[in-house]
Chain A
């Protein structure tokens, strides 16, 4: 039987993958409710974004999006099964229906959104490629990096962005090619290159692990757009809405100053938007096919965006990332959720 199976697989392999991708999967929302838990594609381990802690509990800002969706659907943020995915298998795992949503620092690009049959529902972290140098170099801007040696992962968008940036500014660099991010990190700490470049969040996470983090500085220039956000399968708008508004609820929660600590007091607030969000004014949950207290559950169990950010990657954590672009639009960032009405 196994022979037949493997023959079958090889046969289909030759026929090509694209024709075989099945379209409809039924309503994801119903499937999730029936199953009683949310299957969420997570990272295999990325500090601050998604990794199991010593007790085996998943933590991170990407993980918090999964928890928010579970809180919205079940009223219980813990009803999530995490499926660790690598960057190579993450999209197929989602396409095949093995997971209900993917929340693992994935950049929203046109081809992924359109060609891969995914639907990105929002951005939970605005990232971008940055540069890190040793403070002793005395460099304060990426424009001063002419002639520097740069540790760079081969075959990545990072590599192309680097070339573009230096070319556009008429500067030259010497590339020190490495295979993986941790190798680049090791090469940089060993002094094989002056500059280490990757997504800024990765630079902060790496720096947090150095014996003396304050000896390294991440330069202010960000040379690419890397909006990271949760994705669902294309073609199930109802489910996409639920995931999108679960994330939005966290952001709106921050806008309105609702935290996990004061969410109960806020129920008696006079602000109509707060009342709509927390389900005191009924009717909004039903539009999504959820109970009216769905956003209340998110904010009381997971907290608002700011709480999640501060807890996992903010300045008080070893990763030490400033809000920057990820601050609310009214605080100088670009984080913005459509109105809740």
Chain B
């Protein structure tokens, strides 16, 4: 078969697909054309604004942009697009908050090690997985030491943390702590022991019945009033407690869904073999239940990751908060679109990654079951 034939075949394949899906009738053809025009209009407008007509570090006169007055769009209104210089100028703050810049390598190191710490739990067919899992358990202590400081490293208080660091800290730690807690809650809710069961039900329903913002306020504003004088748990830590409790309640319900999908026969079979409750749970029930519950779990994780931006209202500078602080600076004020588009992009990258991972898991589990 010559190259031309392949080309013709493949072209006709595309042609058939196009006819079948986009131009199958007059109505569809018109809709397709309208949609294409729309996509072209919006897409070209956005690309022109964000890339082709935009300033990055230098304006159209080739000057380094040091404040909004240098942005091409502010020199020649209406002719130029975005002014991304604010992102460059505030890059460190977006990444580390007000973390001392000479110590920022510590945050960078943790950013670099984070993928290694979670790869072991995300994928089961990687080489040396066991060592990655070990690392996963060491990582929180390492991260705490590197980020907060301790012997040999200067202490950087959490009030200096900000930007992506706070967003990731709350997201990753919240999810990581909530996971074991939520398994216990889900098991407790299905327990036959009345006290444990009612405690879990009350906890889950209370937390789920309250908006995260209320929990954050409670943790941030109410808690210190009830504690003895001088005992002020760290602001970020309080937010983390609220986020963790919130996430564990939601995740517990997702896991309970998985538990309920396990046929009763499985448990009975395990019991007839003489396995104890914990053996049954650990070896028979949970592995199957978690598999089933993975898509809803990832779903709540994505939700939580975005919800972390609520900590802005208790005065923590997460990614969104640091963006708003940048807009409050006279040097850069009014560059709303640039800041919000950038923040959306960062959130999108993480949430889209999680959603892709969830799809990957679903596919993988499908083949396992068939």
Partner of A97, one of B77, B232, B325: B232
Partner of B324, one of A10, A45, A56: A45
Q: Does B98 contact A (CB under 8 A)?
A: yes
Are B226 and A12 touching (Cβ within 8 A)?
yes
Are A209 and B333 touching (Cβ within 8 A)?
yes
List the A side residues contacting B218 at CB < 8 Å: 9, 13
List the A side residues contacting B326 at CB < 8 Å: 45
Q: Does A122 contact B (CB under 8 A)?
A: no
Are B206 and A56 touching (Cβ within 8 A)?
no
Are A6 and B206 touching (Cβ within 8 A)?
yes
Are B329 and A83 touching (Cβ within 8 A)?
no
Partner of A319, one of B202, B321, B330: B330
Q: Which of B130-160 contact A (CB under 8 A)?
A: 157, 159
List the A side residues contacting B37 at CB < 8 Å: none
Q: Does B90 contact A (CB under 8 A)?
A: yes
CB distance from B90 to the nearest CB of A (A): 6
Are A86 and B315 touching (Cβ within 8 A)?
yes
Distance, CA A3 to CA B185, complexed state (A): 10
Report if A2-B241 is in contact (Cβ < 8 Å); known contacts: A9-B218, A12-B226.
Answer: yes
Q: Does A48 contact B (CB under 8 A)?
A: yes
Residue of B nearest to A46 (CB): B328
Partner of A22, one of B199, B229, B232: B229
**Closest 5 CB pairs between A and B?**
A45-B328, A96-B224, A209-B334, A45-B325, A51-B328
Q: Does A266 contact B (CB under 8 A)?
A: no
Residue of B nearest to A2 (CB): B245
Task: Enumerate 22 A-B pairs (CB-CB under 8 Å) in ascending A order.
Answer: A2-B244, A12-B222, A22-B225, A25-B229, A44-B315, A44-B317, A44-B328, A45-B329, A48-B330, A53-B329, A56-B93, A83-B235, A84-B315, A84-B317, A86-B312, A88-B217, A92-B225, A95-B225, A97-B230, A182-B336, A205-B333, A208-B333
Q: Which of A93-110 contact B (CB under 8 A)?
A: 93, 95-98
Distance, CA A182 to CA B328, complexed state (A): 11
Are A9 and B312 touching (Cβ within 8 A)?
no
List the A side residues contacting B97 at CB < 8 Å: 56
Are B199 and A54 touching (Cβ within 8 A)?
no
Distance, CA A76 to CA B316, complexed state (A): 26
Residue of B nearest to A189 (CB): B334
Q: Does B221 contact A (CB under 8 A)?
A: yes
Distance, CA A210 to CA B335, complexed state (A): 11
Having A52-B93, A89-B314, one finds 18 other A-B pairs with CB under 8 Å, namely A6-B207, A6-B245, A7-B202, A9-B223, A9-B226, A13-B218, A17-B222, A44-B317, A47-B330, A48-B330, A51-B329, A52-B98, A54-B329, A56-B97, A86-B313, A93-B315, A97-B224, A209-B68
Are B225 and A54 touching (Cβ within 8 A)?
no
Q: Which of A284-298 contact B (CB under 8 A)?
A: none
CB distance from A125 to the nearest CB of B (A): 16
Distance, CA A95 to CA B324, complexed state (A): 26
- Residue of A25, A45, A48, A182 with highest tally of chain B CB at under 10 A: A45
Are A98 and B232 touching (Cβ within 8 A)?
yes
Report if A20-B226 is in contact (Cβ < 8 Å); known contacts: A2-B241, A89-B221, A89-B315.
Answer: yes
List the B side residues contacting A12 at CB < 8 Å: 222, 226
Q: Does B25 contact A (CB under 8 A)?
A: no
Q: Does B89 contact A (CB under 8 A)?
A: yes
Report if A45-B226 is in contact (Cβ < 8 Å); known contacts: A2-B181, A81-B157, A97-B232.
Answer: no
List the A side residues contacting B315 at CB < 8 Å: 44, 83-86, 89, 93
Residue of A nearest to B241 (CB): A2
Distance, CA A25 to CA B326, complexed state (A): 35
Distance, CA A12 to CA B92, complexed state (A): 41
Q: Does A177 contact B (CB under 8 A)?
A: no
0/1 interface trace, chain A 56-89, chain B, CB 8 Å (1 if under): 1000000000000000000000000111111011
Residue of A nearest to B224 (CB): A96
Q: Which of A169-193 contact B (CB under 8 A)?
A: 182
Q: Does B247 contact A (CB under 8 A)?
A: no
CB distance from B331 to the nearest CB of A (A): 7
Partner of A6, one of B203, B225, B313, B314: B203
Which residues of A pack against B, CB within 8 Å?
Answer: 2-3, 6-7, 9-10, 12-13, 17, 20-22, 24-26, 31, 43-48, 51-54, 56, 81-86, 88-89, 92-93, 95-98, 182, 205, 208-211, 317-319
List the B side residues contacting A51 at CB < 8 Å: 325, 328-329
List the A side residues contacting B329 at CB < 8 Å: 45, 47, 51-54
Are B334 and A86 touching (Cβ within 8 A)?
no
CB distance from B198 to the nearest CB of A (A): 11
CB distance from B166 to the nearest CB of A (A): 12
Q: Does B286 contact A (CB under 8 A)?
A: no
Q: Does B261 contact A (CB under 8 A)?
A: no
Distance, CA A91 to CA B59, complexed state (A): 44
List the A side residues contacting B226 at CB < 8 Å: 9, 12, 20
List the B side residues contacting A43 at CB < 8 Å: 328
Distance, CA A17 to CA B221, complexed state (A): 11
Report if A3-B325 is in contact (Cβ < 8 Å); known contacts: A21-B225, A84-B315, A92-B225.
Answer: no
List the A side residues contacting B334 at CB < 8 Å: 209-210
0/1 interface trace, chain B 59-103, chain A, CB 8 Å (1 if under): 000000000100000100100000000000110110001100100
List the A side residues contacting B221 at CB < 8 Å: 89, 92-93, 96
Residue of A nearest to B223 (CB): A9
Distance, CA A289 to CA B232, complexed state (A): 26
List the A side residues contacting B343 at CB < 8 Å: none
Are B330 and A317 touching (Cβ within 8 A)?
yes
- Residue of B222, B314, B329 with highest tally of chain A CB at under 10 A: B329
Q: Does B309 contact A (CB under 8 A)?
A: no
List the A side residues contacting B312 at CB < 8 Å: 44, 86
List the B side residues contacting A83 at CB < 8 Å: 159, 235, 315
